[in-house]
Chain A
Amino acid sequence: MTIAVPRMGNLSQIIRDVARRFDLETLETPPFSEQTMEIGSALAPEFACLPLKAVLGSFVQVLAMGADTLVTGGGHGPCRFGYYGEIQRRILEREGKQFRMVVLEPPSVSFKAFHDSLRSLLPRQRVRLPTLLNELSQTLSKVVVFDKLEKRALALRGLEAEPGAVDAALEEAQAIVAAAFTRKEIEMARLEAEARFRQVPIESGRPHLKVGLVGEIFVVLEPFFNFDIDRWLGRRGVVVERSVNIADTAYPMGRNPVFGYTERAVARAADPYLSHEVGGDGLLTVGASVIFARRGFDAIVHFLPFTCMPEVIAKGVLGRVSSELGIPVLSLSIDEQTGRAGVQTRLEALVDLAWSNRKKGAARLHAVLS
């Protein structure tokens, strides 16, 4: 049994960790490319959203490479993601592919369904439940460390004294953490990785912009679809903070350890603009934007896949957030035809606008003080 899991941000690192813990044979899905999107868009329903097409394309590629078990996430709505697995299975079967599709239900929907689908992937059937849970919780703590490292890199990239220093540190830090497996090792690796980050030369006095990155998790985390926004903004001296992380999505009880605001705090912040859960990351997008605006960020960049239901609602609502809290918001809707140049022109305009707002604000402050 060769297992393949779709790619998304740090997910492949996590899969490697799980595979090592349970002796699974996994096959890494190839990075997203033009070709992946072509295959995916040709097979998928016309109005399906971008992640479905991208994942479908990479499933076709990985099946050709020899995988026979496809794993994807489930859910009970109202976001379309919960139905992806079923539609993709039907499409691939129609194409005459031989495979098994395992839909991992999130434990919050039904622990039994989660447990059953997970068990069906484990070759060693004699793993006892407490062992299984213990291993998974260790993986989860590793995911938190991975995402915190990335958060650190996003905050530092705009201030690095020499270009590429943060990326080099991040790569080394990730390698250190990837080699840790027990709780103690993970904690040691975390300290070591943080020490590695302290060596990065920083110009802390440099004037910089602060930009909040919000939106749908897949397009926010996958550099192929957001045109590597993290590094693009970093090169322009922008400090970035983002609302969505794999660790926060997987962490129980809505505690959001990486983002730092609990689900309840996010819902409270969003309440004047969006007062009900709308599925996916919609409420988080609105709540995080309000939190960023209150913390004095200069701008917000919102990424969404074209026609994504929760994010389209968030996009509509963000207009009101922007005008009432006085923060520029740029919503970028991504589909298979989005061009790099168009996105970057708009991002450049946003950065210029934020700088000119900053200068105007400084001038006003000067006028008040003198």
Chain B
Amino acid sequence: MRVGVPRAMLFHHYGEHWLHFLEKLGVEAVVSEATTGSMITNGAVHADNETCLPVKVFSGHMLWLKERVDVVLVPRVISEQYGTLACPKFMGLPDLARTLDPDLPPILSPRIHLGDRRYLWAREWYGVARALGGTRLGSATAVAGLLYGLEKHRVQAVARPPEEGMRIGVAGHLYNVHDSRVSLGLLDRVRGMGAAPVTVDQVLPSRARTQAATLSRKIFWGYESRLAGAVLHWSRTRSVSGILFVTSFACGPGSMVGALLEDQLAREGSVPLMTITLDEHAAEAGLVTRLEAFTDMLKRSSRAAGGRLAPSGAPGRAG
């Protein structure tokens, strides 16, 4: 049996653990290819026209998998941390996927609810494992491995080798930032301008949580809470010279957290912040021009500040 896994949305958070789970069960996993332009177009045509860009990209991946697999794994993510919830789109994702095309292969949608300390949702993964032909012991081991992996993911930061140059914080959803087609190669473009991008997953979750707790109202979306914490950490420790806030068109939590961060950073007198909104029509030229302007501004202000890495004082805002 061939199990399809779309390389979109939370695959960029938990994909390795899902694949590990399938591998332990001895089933063949088919991960969709890296996003292409035609996938995005196809997804945008079939998905609801008002959904956000990542859901359209996800739809493109689902349709790519349609002819190639017997069953698709789309976990339903309810929460990623204790006391938070995920974006509603993650909760309804398997149901949205089923509406795409009546001929889609069956969808397996076990829940991931890391905020539920009783781990009742792990049973659904056990059910999936058994349905995929795992033995009792094999299924239990695979589920235990998955839980261990998810738990580790929840508390650890991703370590990447340090890069040369001025550091720029890239605050955005991992499925936008790490998908080079969706973000139009944002990270590489930043590198090309002589800066070193730092992403949200490189900030230790506990550190982000401490910073997010200083906000006057708790952010109830798990990933956005971590993102806001990471941005506050970068800005308060001056560990980056500037911050790019990357969001996608029609992103609900993004619209709120973006407004919140702009206001909070302006009040604190932080490093410069620029917001970039991605959609399926985004053109490279527009992005490059804005990135160049932003990095040039950062370089100039760091030179004016006497070579200090981060400028202080009133925040500059571009875009």
Contact = CB atoms under 8 A, between A and B. Distances in A.
Interface of A: 44-49, 76-80, 82-83, 85-87, 90-91, 94, 103, 273-280, 282, 306-310, 312-313, 315-317, 319-320, 333
A86 B260 contact: yes
A77 B89 contact: no
A78 B254 contact: no
Interface stretch (B139-147, B186-194, B213-221): B213-221
B91 A277 contact: yes
Contacts of A91: 259, 263
A273 B99 CA distance: 9
9 closest pairs, A vs B, by CB? A77-B220, A47-B255, A313-B92, A45-B259, A309-B252, A86-B217, A316-B48, A278-B88, A309-B88
Contact of A313 (B88, B111, B259, B263): B88
Interface of B: 47-48, 50-52, 76, 78, 84-89, 91-92, 94-96, 98-99, 111, 216-217, 219-221, 247, 249-256, 258-260, 263-264, 277
A279 B217 contact: no
Contact of B256 (A80, A278, A310): A80
Contacts of B219: 83
25 contacts: A44-B259, A45-B258, A45-B259, A46-B255, A47-B251, A47-B255, A48-B256, A48-B259, A77-B84, A78-B88, A78-B220, A86-B217, A87-B256, A90-B259, A90-B263, A91-B259, A94-B263, A278-B91, A282-B88, A307-B255, A312-B51, A313-B88, A313-B89, A316-B48, A316-B99
A45 to B, nearest CB: 4
A141 B216 CA distance: 35
A278 to B, nearest CB: 4
Given A47-B254, A279-B91, 11 more contacts: A44-B259, A45-B258, A49-B255, A77-B84, A77-B220, A78-B86, A78-B87, A82-B220, A282-B92, A307-B255, A319-B99
Contact of B51 (A80, A282, A316, A320): A316
Nearest to B263: A90
Nearest to A318: B99
Contact of B78 (A276, A280, A306, A319): A276
A94 B52 CA distance: 29
Contact of A315 (B50, B98, B250, B277): B50
Nearest to A44: B259
A113 B95 CA distance: 34
Contacts of A47: 247, 249-252, 254-255, 277
Nearest to B47: A316
B186 to A, nearest CB: 19
A309 B89 contact: yes
A273 B95 CA distance: 6
Contacts of A44: 259
A83 B218 CA distance: 9
Given A306-B50, A316-B99, A317-B96, A79 B88 contact: yes
Contacts of B253: 80
A47 B248 CA distance: 10
A83 B252 CA distance: 11
A274 B95 CA distance: 6
Given A47-B254, A48-B255, A83 B220 contact: yes
B214 to A, nearest CB: 14
B217 A83 contact: yes
